[in-house]
Structure 1
Amino acid sequence: MNVRILGRTSRNSRGDGRKADPIETVLRLAVLLSGGTAPTLAWRYLAEGGDPALTAAADAAERGADVGAVLRAAGDSWHGLAAIWSVAVAAGAPLSDALRSVVGALRETAEVSADVRVALAEPAATARLLGWLPLVGIPLGGLLGFDPVGTLLADPFGRGCLALGLILMATAYVWMRRLSRRAQPPRVTPGLEAELWAVALSAGVSVDRARGVIDDLGIDPTGRAEVRDTLELATRAGVPAAELLRGDAWIARYRARTDGRVAAARLATRLLVPLGVCTLPAFLLIAVVPAALAVLRSTALP
């Protein structure tokens, strides 16, 4: 297994230096460490692919610096691996076991994010397409034998229609963009804090020690109340808290996927409001009114 993984990494080093996938990196790192490879050497093997984040992590490992801090600085996509690595090192958990236990969670998190992006893509793309509808009406009017460009630019009433139509188009664009942003999921990894607690407690550290390690990472505190309730339940029932916490993490990811799909469905409906209030009147002002004005003036001529 090690030979195949290292061989593939070496081929990447002779390739185009593509960016590494964090989930694939976690899995490879777990396999290398479980095979007896030293952490410093494992990071160096993975860095042969040319990814800047892994190169920085390998350099930090060789210097004895905080690899987790380096990965956190490399971007949002590496935050999950960075947090897991930091907690496992600080709690003294076996690195390979910790990475193996969360690779499925990271994969599910990526799937949740992908599902939400796909669900939001259709209503957002439809809104962008319909947002250009008023300008599409100008060449359409020309094909019907009218002169919408001349009416919009030369006629005072036409210039007023053009200005008001463009203002409505800009308003619709800003309005729809804000609605799309509000529908985006929060930039946090659902269930990450529960997974980190499970890693720390599985290493046998106390609750106070685990809390100190996780607080040092600056994780978003949205899931802190759920973690506290789970720890209290485990204490009252006299059962290990790690499995309960992993269950909480799975539920958080399930809720994130459901909330994302609901937000996409609501977005498709809410986008109809700016389309009806702004885009349709803009189409009438820019495309229909100049054509009607041209017809009226042509019939009014002796």
Structure 2
Amino acid sequence: MIATPPIERVAAITERLAVLIAGGVPPPAAWAYLAGGARRRSPPTLDDRVVAAATDAALNGASIADAIADRARAGAIRRSGRRSPASPEADAWLSVAAAWEVAIGTGAPLAGCLKDLARSQRALGQAQRDIEAALAGPRATSRLVMLLPAVGLVFGLLLGFDTIGTLFGTVPGLACLTVAVLLVLAAWRWSTAMVRRSIPPSSAPGLAVDLTSIAMSSGASVPRALSVVEAALSAYRPVAETVAADDRAAIDRVLALSQSAGVPAAELLRGEADQARRDARSAAQLGAASLAARLMLPLGLCILPAFMLVGVAPLMMSVLSSTVRGIG
């Protein structure tokens, strides 16, 4: 069973916040309502701590976006032990912080902006579910083939040969064992790197386009909208401090179309962001599908030789040793 992606949990909170604000609840009170539900959970999750920090900031007149980002980063460092907001929960909350800052900075309607963000987060969550499902088979394959050398060793014991004694008690056996262990470690690192590279590099494809859509929905000028988006990304998305080249090209293309046709750009930008997410989803699924074939490389070049060294070579040495003793 695939666990609920963290971004979907953040999307649910964002959507509740949007509904409360759309219903006429002021943002400080809306955050307080959400924090009231979070306090009933023990121990509190990162989501609960972020909501509590945002509530305190809203009630005290401080920057809500800064409070969200600071708490998300602190929670990520606490969990990973590294000075990097690399956790999925933190990454999702940083997107919320950037969207909130863009909406406040341009005067865009908060409820609509939060609803759009929640919709895009849910789409990303579904894409992550699909990617995890596609990677499940290759991951299981890589783990299974790692067991082949041990299977060879057990097979020799079942045949009645002292393969363990040969491996640990003779110089040739120790040499075979050492090389086999190195080969298995190399295969494990190789296959792990392959799986890691199959995961999409961006956790929020199309985010810059979404943020530009939020900014443009306020009626802000193009230079003002782009400036606010750039500032928000630089402040709250350190892994993407500036608009990516693909997103910039998409934004420029849509803005040119909007100006030439005389139509609002916000809806066109939302469609472009959806397309970016679909493209990233398809690319990740194709990468996962080809991963099973590429995993044959560490199997053939590392695991099978390790199997021969641990499972076959000790067996042959045991047979030769028994034959020599029999002749003697």
What is residue 83 of structure 2 aligned with on the other side? Answer: none
Contact 2:96 2:117 in 1 (8 A): no
Matched, 1:185 2:200: yes
Amino acid at match of 2:49: P
Matched, 1:206 2:229: no
What is residue 54 of structure 1 aligned with on the other side? Answer: 51
Structure 1 distance, partners of 2:249, 2:14, is 28
Residue-by-residue CA offset, 1:4-60 (whole Å, 9 max, x unaligned): xxxxxxxxxxxxxxx992111111101111111110011111112131111111111
**Structure 1, 250-259 or 188-197: larger mean CA deviation:** 188-197
**Structure 1, 20-29 or 140-149: larger mean CA deviation:** 20-29
Structure 2 distance, partners of 1:213, 1:189, is 18
Structure 1 distance, partners of 2:9, 2:34, is 11
What are the ranges of 5 or more consecutive residues in structure 1 without an aligned counterpart? 1-18
Contact 1:72 1:82 in 2 (8 A): yes
Matched, 1:31 2:19: yes
What is residue 14 of structure 1 aligned with on the other side? Answer: none
What is residue 148 of structure 2 aligned with on the other side? Answer: 133
Coordinate RMSD, CA, aligned: 1.6
Go from structure 1 to structure 2 and tell me whether the alpha carbon gap of 1:80 and 1:260 turns closer, same or farther (over 3 Å shift): same
TM-score, normalised to structure 1, is 0.90
Contact 2:8 2:122 in 1 (8 A): no
Structure 2 distance, partners of 1:248, 1:292, is 63
What are the equivalent positions in structure 2 for 1:19-98 lying under 5 Å apart?
21-48=9-36, 49-50=38-39, 51-73=48-70, 74=72, 75-98=90-113
Contact 1:90 1:213 in 2 (8 A): yes
Percent sequence identity over aligned pairs: 42
Residue 278 of structure 1, CA deviation: 0.3
What are the equivalent positions in structure 2 for 1:82-121 lying under 5 Å apart?
82-121=97-136
Residue 271 of structure 1, CA deviation: 0.9
Structure 2 distance, partners of 1:153, 1:80, is 55
What are the equivalent positions in structure 2 for 1:259-274 lying under 5 Å apart?
259-274=283-298
Residue 77 of structure 1, CA deviation: 2.3
Residue-by-residue CA offset, 1:119-148 (whole Å, 9 max, x unaligned): 122202210221122123222221121111
**Structure 1, 269-278 or 184-193: larger mean CA deviation:** 184-193
Matched, 1:235 2:259: yes
**Number of residue pairs the alignment of both structures matches:** 284
Structure 1 distance, partners of 2:268, 2:105, is 22
Structure 2 distance, partners of 1:128, 1:101, is 40
Go from structure 1 to structure 2 and tell me whether the alpha carbon gap of 1:254 and 1:110 turns closer, same or farther (over 3 Å shift): same
Contact 2:8 2:125 in 1 (8 A): no
Matched, 1:293 2:281: no
Contact 2:180 2:307 in 1 (8 A): yes
Structure 1 distance, partners of 2:116, 2:91, is 21
What is residue 5 of structure 1 aligned with on the other side? Answer: none
Structure 1 distance, partners of 2:306, 2:287, is 27
Structure 2 distance, partners of 1:260, 1:106, is 17
Contact 1:80 1:106 in 2 (8 A): no
What are the ranges of 5 or more consecutive residues in structure 2 without an aligned counterpart? 1-6, 40-47, 73-89
What is residue 149 of structure 1 aligned with on the other side? Answer: 164
Contact 1:171 1:278 in 2 (8 A): yes
Go from structure 1 to structure 2 and tell me whether the alpha carbon gap of 1:20 and 1:161 turns closer, same or farther (over 3 Å shift): closer
Structure 1 distance, partners of 2:187, 2:8, is 39
What is residue 84 of structure 2 aligned with on the other side? Answer: none
Structure 2 distance, partners of 1:85, 1:202, is 14
Residue 297 of structure 1, CA deviation: 2.0
What is residue 174 of structure 1 aligned with on the other side? Answer: 189
Structure 2 distance, partners of 1:72, 1:277, is 45
**Structure 1, 94-103 or 284-293: larger mean CA deviation:** 94-103
What is residue 45 of structure 2 aligned with on the other side? Answer: none
